[in-house]
Amino acid sequence: MRILVTGTAGFIGNALALNLLERGDEVVGIDNLNAYYDVQLKRDRLARLADYRGFTDLRQDLEDRETIASTFRKYAPQRVVNLAAQAGVRYSLTNPHAYISSNIQGFMNILELCRHHGVENLVYASSSSVYGANTRMPFSVHHNVDHPVSLYAATKKANELMAHTYSHLYGFPTTGLRFFTVYGPAGRPDMVMFRFVQWIAEDCILHALPLGSILRNQSAVSNNLSYFIQNKRIQTRIISSLYCPSFFNVKGKCNDFAQNFMFKNRDNSKYNLIPIRNCLWLVYVR
């Protein structure tokens, strides 16, 4: 199967492309290698894919409608997975236009091209950020998400509305995956897991918060891939070509990452870390 994956130099996109190539699919990868974080890390990720004969690496911007259109015409993908986006909540405070260009205009181009080129299915990345000011726990796809608290979240909510509209109007299936904090090999360096490691390396002090004061779901990237490929609950949405605009939360257990982190750092006692049961965020204190 020929699958177009956007964001193949990104953390999740690269892991997905590698998985698809290993199972024998052909992957057409698009990425613009932007400088939001270390470009060398992105190049290193792409190097993992370079030896696969089924991989095509394209350096393109989703906002460039004509260039992306030529890619659809040339490669005629059967399925599309859109993981390219301007990520990060804090960055949207200082660079808001990047989010509109990539997450709104770029996604619009993907929707239109999927429509006009007979793509059987579109899977795209949404975010747990869409829950915004919601206080009802645990988060559910059945909850109202009309109160985003960042521009990033607003663009992801907009993506869900746009995809739902295209599925309704033109009858092709779209599936949005609301990713919660994702961690794993070659992860994004701006994510808190790698910041913890950095702070420990710099001999900072980490204190655990009181039990239950802050909870956060984490998800391993290897588990996320099952939502694209193996998960039976949504397999019909992703693998089949049935009309179905859908959303799913993609998250792990609350304590998975925190326990692994605290038991595997170099000296638990030195950093005042304690075993926890409910995945507390750790506070960085200089």
Task: Give catalytic residues, as residue numbers.
Answer: 152
Residue type for position 221: V
Q: What is the CA radius of gyration of the chain?
A: 19
CA atoms of 251 and 141, how far apart (whole Å): 12
Terminal-residue alpha carbon distance, the chain:
51
CA atoms of 184 and 190, how far apart (whole Å): 13
Query: Rounded to the nearest 10 degrees, what angle do helices 106-116 and 151-170 cross at?
Result: 10
In 3-state terms, the chain is what percent helix, strand and coil (to 5)?
40, 20, 40
What is each CA distance from 95 to 32, 68, 102, 123, 128, in whole angstroms? 17, 24, 12, 26, 21
